[in-house]
Chains A and B, each alone.
Chain A
Amino acid sequence: MTTLAKYIFLVITLTFMSCEDVIDLDLPAAAPRLVIEASLDWEKGTLGNEQTIKLSLSKPYFDADGITAVIGSSVKVTNDTDGTVFVFIDQNNGLYTTDSFIPILNQSYTLEVIHNGDTYIAHETLMPVVDIQDVRQSLEGGDDDEALDVTIYFNDPIAETNFYLLKFKEQGDLFPALFDLKDEFTNGNQMSAYFEKFNDEESDEEEFVSGDVVDIQFYGVSQQYYNYLHILIGQLNSGGGPFGSTPVGLKGNCLNTSNPSKTAFGYFRLTQVVQTSYIFQ
Chain B
Amino acid sequence: MKQLSLLIILFTSLLSAQENYTISGTIKDVNNGETVFGASAYFKDTTTGVSSNEYGFFSLTAPKGTYTLIVSYMGYTDYSKTIVLDQNQSFDIELTENSTQLDEVVITSEESEQVSIKKPQMSVTKLNATTIKQMPVVLGEVDLIKSIQMLPGVTNNGEASSGFNVRGGAADQNLVLLDEAIIYNTSHLLGFFSVFNADAIKDVKLYKGGIPARFGGRVSSVLDVRQKDGNNKEFALTGGVGIISSRLAAEGPLYNDKGSFLVAGRSSYAHLFLKMAGEKNSLSFYDLNLKTNYNINDSNKIFLSGYFGRDNFDFSGNFKSNYGNLSGNLRWNKIFNEKLFSNLSLIYSKYDYQVIFDAEQLDWVSDIKNYNVKYDFKYFTSPKISFDFGASTIYYEFNPGEVKPTGDDSSINYLKLDQKRALESGLYLNAEHKITDVLTAEYGIRLSTFSRLGGQTLNEYENNQPVVYNDVLGVYESGTAIGETVYKKDDEIESYSNLEPRLALSYQINENSSVKASYNKVSQYIHLLSNTASVSPLDVWAPSGKFIKPQIADQFAMGYFRNLRDNSLALEAEVYYKTVDNRIDYIDGSDLIGKNNIETQILNGESRAYGLELLLRKSKGDFTGWLAYTLSKSEQRALGGNAGGPGINNGNWYNTAYDRTHDISFTGAYKWNDKWTFGTNLVFQTGRPATFPNGQYQYEGQSIASYSERNANRLTNYHRLDISAIYTPNRKPDNKLRGEWMFGIYNVYNRKNAASISFGQNKDSGENEATRTAIFGIVPSVTYNFKF
Contact = CB atoms under 8 A, between A and B. Distances in A.
Contacts of A248: 588-589, 691, 707, 710
Interface stretch (A75-83, A125-133, A181-189): A181-189
B318 interface: yes
A211 interface: no
A59 B770 contact: no
Interface string A14-28: 111111111111011
A245 B589 contact: yes
Contacts of A253: 472-473
B763 interface: yes
| Number of chain A interface residues as a range | 35 or more
Given A61-B694, A64-B768, A242 B755 contact: yes
Interface stretch (A84-92, A104-112, A138-146, A273-281): A138-146
B743 interface: no
Interface string B698-718: 111110111111110100000
A239 B705 contact: yes
Contacts of A64: 767-768
Query: Which of A24, A59, A230, A234 counts the most chain B CB atoms within 10 A?
Result: A59
A205 interface: yes
A10 B758 CA distance: 14
Interface in A186-204: 186-187, 189-192, 194, 203-204
B757 interface: yes
| Number of chain B interface residues as a range | 35 or more
A11 B281 contact: yes
A201 to B, nearest CB: 12
Interface string B282-296: 110000000000000
Contacts of B278: none
B303 interface: no
A241 B473 CA distance: 27
A266 B586 CA distance: 23
Given A11-B283, A143-B359, A17 B779 contact: yes
Interface in A164-189: 167, 173-176, 178, 184-187, 189
A195 B537 CA distance: 27
B669 interface: no
A235 B316 contact: no
Contacts of B737: none
B691 A185 contact: no
Given A25-B757, A143-B315, A243 B694 contact: no
B161 interface: yes
B757 A173 contact: no
A254 B316 CA distance: 44
Given A4-B357, A19-B752, A251-B474, A231 B315 contact: no
B413 interface: yes
B382 to A, nearest CB: 54
Given A7-B315, A16-B775, A240-B758, A185 B474 contact: no
Given A12-B283, A58-B695, A242 B779 contact: no
B569 interface: no
Given A4-B593, A8-B313, A185-B594, A21 B772 contact: yes
Interface stretch (B12-20, B22-30, B175-183, B527-535): B527-535
Given A13-B773, A15-B282, A250 B704 contact: yes
A16 B319 CA distance: 18
Contacts of B440: none
A159 interface: no
Contacts of A247: 691, 693, 705, 707
B756 interface: yes
A20 B696 contact: no
A32 B537 CA distance: 40
A56 interface: yes
Nearest to B589: A231
Interface in B68-85: none
B588 A231 contact: yes
A174 B767 CA distance: 11
B591 interface: yes
Nearest to B355: A4
B115 interface: no
B190 A8 contact: yes
Interface in A30-86: 30, 32-33, 35, 37, 39, 54, 56-64, 67
Given A234-B589, A235-B705, A245-B531, 20 more contacts: A11-B283, A12-B160, A12-B192, A15-B271, A15-B281, A19-B752, A19-B777, A20-B774, A29-B695, A30-B708, A32-B695, A141-B359, A175-B766, A190-B411, A203-B762, A203-B764, A247-B691, A247-B705, A248-B588, A251-B474
15 contacts: A2-B593, A8-B536, A13-B160, A13-B775, A17-B775, A27-B770, A59-B696, A175-B766, A185-B415, A227-B477, A231-B589, A239-B705, A242-B755, A243-B533, A250-B707
Interface of A: 1-2, 4-5, 7-25, 27-30, 32-33, 35, 37, 39, 54, 56-64, 67, 141-145, 167, 173-176, 178, 184-187, 189-192, 194, 203-205, 224, 227, 230-232, 234-236, 238-253, 255, 263, 265-267
- Kindly list the 4 A-B residue pairs having the minimum CB-CB distance in the complex, ordered from nearest: A58-B697, A231-B589, A240-B758, A248-B588
